[in-house]
Structure 1
Amino acid sequence: MNSDFMDALIQLEKEKGISKDVLIDAIEAALISGYKRNFHSAQNVRVDINRETGNVKVLARKTIVEEVIDPRLEISLEAARQINPNYQLDDIVELEVTPKDFGRIAAQTAKQVVTQRIKEAERGIIYETFVDREEDIVTGIVQRQDQRFIYIDLGKTEALLPINEQMPTERFKHGDRVKVYITKVEKTTKGPQIFVSRTHPGLLKRLFELEVPEIYEGVVEIKSVAREAGYRSKIAVYSQQEEVDPVGACVGPKGARVQTIVNELKGEKIDIVKWSNDIETYISNALSPSKVVSVEVNEQEKMARVIVPDYQLSLAIGKEGQNARLAAKLTGWKIDIKSESQATM
């Protein structure tokens, strides 16, 4: 190693934020192992790298004793005082034992250590970047797929989309651009693992925040989301400002805003309903597009009995009970739906 190498470490410190001293300490530790491995030495050694020139020395550390039993670890007081007359028993003497070709080993080891530390630093930066983006949307490119995951390129790293977090109505091919919701970021020995989802209700919420300026600005608030990914969703919205129609803001001019989200979710139907502090009104709205005649609530059991016109019963319940099920998820209430005819029986 030479002064150019030390200059490179200084540059690395500026660009990557990796301390030069931390790198040198790591190289010295690695060189001790390299020396013992390559030269079959059981000596107690220390490696010293000159911070200015980059020169490397291997120093054997020996304890001063009256009687030498292991010359690899010990030195007599008489021999020590030939080096420096001020030495005393139990002092440590350092003797240079740098092998002739140790410079080559030092250079290889330094390169390996620096490369490893750069990787660790970059992994740390990636982790810090994405751990702050949990519960957020990112856009990536589909790379490949196995039995467990779809691998999505996010630029400097890859995200894992578990198969069970993929919408059942969509199939991806290599090169597809896709928006995903970050559910979890984990630190591992191989670097950060980023888990994403296409089925999480948070994806729908974030998509509306991206498409509807009134939500992003806080004028319109998303109160609740219920989702059966790929098929149908309901979202309850509310505005503090009476002059702002929260449903209209989310639908957008000629339905443009909600249509963009529907397209992103490959045709998933989305019901946008107005949230209300009055639970009867809220439940009635949640059953949209069905019309509701009346709502009776049992506060104690958090259960609602809903009466709908006879011709609206199947619409209120929905295909395989989907509309009623989503309305219950959205409101957090159990909902029992009856037609007018059934209610009078």
Structure 2
Amino acid sequence: MTEVRLMDVLHQIEREKGIPVEALVGALEAALASAYRKHFGATSSIRVELDPRTSDFHVYAQRVVVQEPRSPATEIGLEEARRLRPDVQLGDTLEIEVTPEDFGRIAAQTAKQVILQKIREAERDSIYQEFAEQEGQVVSGTIQRFEGRKVYVDLGRVEGLLMEQEQVRGERDPPGARMRFYVLKVRKTTRQPEILLSRSHPGLLRRLLEAEVPEIYEGIVEIKSVAREAGSRSKVAVASRDPHVDPVGACVGHRGSRIQAVMDELNGERIDIIRWHEDPERYITEALSPARVKRVIIEDPHKRIAVVLVSNEQQSLAIGRSGQNVRLAARLTNWRIDIRNEAEWEATQRGAAKASE
């Protein structure tokens, strides 16, 4: 690589990689100054300069002007100094060129290393910036390999990492399977950026609905809350800003086509779309769907505690298998919900009333 070709390469890198020529030149000059000190044992201040017109590298060293120099590496005699600069005085510091004859070979080797390093840094920064802007969004990727309980995902320019705690229980797609992932966090490292992914985050469900339901994307329908037990069941509360648009119907789609597409992406996870209400009694009633609620009693509005009365036939449905339905409803509404059998509760209330008489 000749010096002229080097400058051509620097300008080409600026065009293709977006690395300013000034940054490349600065890195080259600093690396060459370090290489000079290493090869020639310089102890004084060294500066390397690249002439942009000729592409030649020049090495400059500082010398203190003395009457009789004892250390040629750091001092220069007054007589010799005045041949270079007539007005120099004893004790002044003079910068002189000390470029070695074989410095071109060192420069070529160093330039190659520096340019490759800068390209790697630029690509690393570009990947980081691209994915940092996608934190909280959904990306598509291909399952690449498994290492223990970690899953590595091919995202194109970089690998993503799906940790065990962000995986869905029972979801074990083979290498080559293409899926969508929630970008949880992007971290800078000394190598490639670390892209942490999730398949269990509620944000994945939220983003998939946004992608599938135009009314959500356009802001007509708003997702108010999401409660998710990944791989099993989720509840989503929605509201409409347009009185002519049914938020539940918009999300479900014609014959369930929209919600089915989201469920398919989540490998059959059941999704309940419920209508959000500002009134907590109505909201809690909706959240406990498909169970039919008889009555909601707000026991403590400050601590957000509610008692929900249901018939004997509906009690197990309201609670759900292993308490899942009421647990999701409580998380969705941010209320503590106590499911009670209506008949038993009324009998308890009558007994308490008689005892107080």
Shorter-chain TM-score bucket reads over 0.9
In the alignment, the residues of structure 1 paired with residue 212 and residue 86 of structure 2 have an alpha-carbon distance, to the nearest angstrom, of 82
- Please name the residue that 2:80 is paired with: 79
> For 2:314, which of 312, 315, 327 is the aligned residue?
312
Contact 1:59 1:96 in 2 (8 A): yes
Report the counterpart of residue 304 of structure 2 in structure 1: 302
Alignment of 1:58-97 (within 5 A): 58-97=59-98
Task: Please state whether the residue corresponding to 1:138 is helix, strand or coil.
Answer: strand
Shift of 1:11: 2.1
Runs (5+) with no aligned partner, structure 1 = none
**How large is the Cα RMSD of the aligned pairs?**
1.7
CA distance in 2, matches of 1:331, 1:79: 87
TM-score, normalization: structure 2? 0.92
Deviates more, 1:32-41 or 1:321-330: 32-41
Determine which of 317, 331, 336 is the counterpart of 1:329. 331
Q: Which amino acid aligns with 1:340?
A: E
Equivalent residues in 2 for 1:162-181 (5 A)?
162-181=163-182
Residue identity matched to 1:322: Q
Paired residue type of 2:200? T
CA displacement at 1:67 relative to structure 2: 4.0
2:125 alignment partner AA: G
Task: Give 1:236's aligned amino acid.
Answer: A
C-alpha offsets along residues 191-213 of structure 1, whole Å, 9 cap, x if unaligned?
42221111111111001000011
Tell whether 2:29 aligns with 1:25.
no
SS in 1 for 2:234: strand
- Would you say the 8 A contact 1:149–1:163 is kept in 2? yes
**Aligned partners of 2:158 and 2:192 also within 8 Å:** no
Deviations 1:90-123 (A, max 9, x none): 3333443333332122111111111111221222
Q: In 2, distance between residues paired with 1:261 and 1:81?
A: 82
1:98 alignment partner, SS class:
coil
Runs of 4+ deviating beyond 4 Å: none
**Deviation at residue 225 of structure 1 after TM alignment:** 0.3
> Which residue of structure 2 lines up, in the alignment, with residue 154 of structure 1?
155
CA distance in 2, matches of 1:266, 1:326: 19
Residue type at the aligned position of 1:228:
E
The separation in 1 between residues aligned to 2:303 and 2:84, in whole angstroms, is 91
- Decide which moves more: 181-190 or 204-213: 181-190
Task: List alignment gaps of at least 5 residues for structure 2.
Answer: 348-357
Name whichever of 318-327 and 57-66 sits farther off.
57-66
Task: Give the conservation status (yes or no) of the 8 Å contact 1:230–1:268.
Answer: yes
Establish whether residue 275 from structure 1 lines up as the match of residue 254 from structure 2. no
Distance across 1 between alignment mates of 2:59 and 2:27: 15
Give the % identical residues. Answer: 52
What is the count of residue pairs matched by the alignment? 345
- SS of alignment partner, residue 188 of structure 1: coil
Partner of residue 343, structure 1: 345
The answer for the alignment partner of 2:5 in structure 1 is: 4
Equivalences for residues 209-224 of structure 1 within 5 A: 209-224=210-225
Work out whether residues 169 and 266 of structure 1, in 8 Å CA contact, stay in contact via their aligned partners in 2: no
CA distance in 2 between counterparts of 1:326 and 1:288 reads 11
Q: CA deviation at 1:43?
A: 4.4
Q: Is the 2:248–2:274 contact (alpha carbons within 8 Å) kept by the matching residues of 1? A: yes
Q: Is the 8 A contact 1:6 1:52 kept in 2?
A: no
Alpha-carbon distance in structure 1 between the residues aligned to 2:7 and 2:70: 40
